[in-house]
Amino acid sequence: MVRRIFMLAVMGFFLGTGLAQADEFTRKDLEKWQKAFMAVVKEGERLFHSPLGSNKVSCDMCHPNAANTHPETYPKFQKQLGRVATLRDMINWCIQNPLEGKPLPLDDPRMIALEAYITWERRGVPLAPGKH
């Protein structure tokens, strides 16, 4: 009981100082961040529809609207790799094979853009990690 009162007093102290406002953001901030995100989606869409490898083949030829990429199922076990793989592993797999190209570094801005576009086209679908 004594402890509870003490806790409340401490919390009251922090609230009173106004520190809780440190990470508040405005509607305008939200719009700005969404715009920044959508710019990356747009770039991802462009890359997805461009020949990223050496043979003029592009992702959209086999994945219109990024269909059949199933980002919500990653990470998942890929029996052909013999391990749990990430979406980025599979993006690179398709760049190296159907597109006959060089894999992208996992933190390459182009990789992030591709992931942003693929995920955006799948928005609203519940997460299903591990699903085949």
Site for other proteins, rule CB under 8 A: 49, 54-57, 60-65, 67-68, 70, 80, 90, 93-94, 97-98, 100, 121-125, 132
In order of 39, 54, 65, 87, 93, the CA distances from 97 in angstroms are: 28, 10, 20, 15, 6
In whole angstroms, what is the distance from residue 129 CA to residue 20 CA?
A: 34
Kindly indicate which of the ranges 3-11, 22-30, 34-42, 95-103 contains the residues binding ligand HEC, using the contact rule CB under 6 A.
Answer: 95-103
Q: Which C-beta is closer to ligand HEC: that of 3 or that of 123?
A: 123
Shortest Å, Cβ 89 to other proteins: 11
111 in contact with ligand HEC (CB under 6 A): no
Sequential DSSP letters for 82-121? TEEE-HHHHHHHHHHTTT--PPPPTT-HHHHHHHHHHHHT
95 binds, among ligand HEC, other proteins, none (CB under 5 to 8 A by kind): ligand HEC
Residue with the two structure tokens 């990429």 = 69
67 binds, among other proteins, ligand HEC, none (CB under 5 to 8 A by kind): other proteins
Cβ atoms within 10 Å, residue 67: 12
Q: Which C-beta is closer to other proteins: that of 113 or that of 121?
A: 121
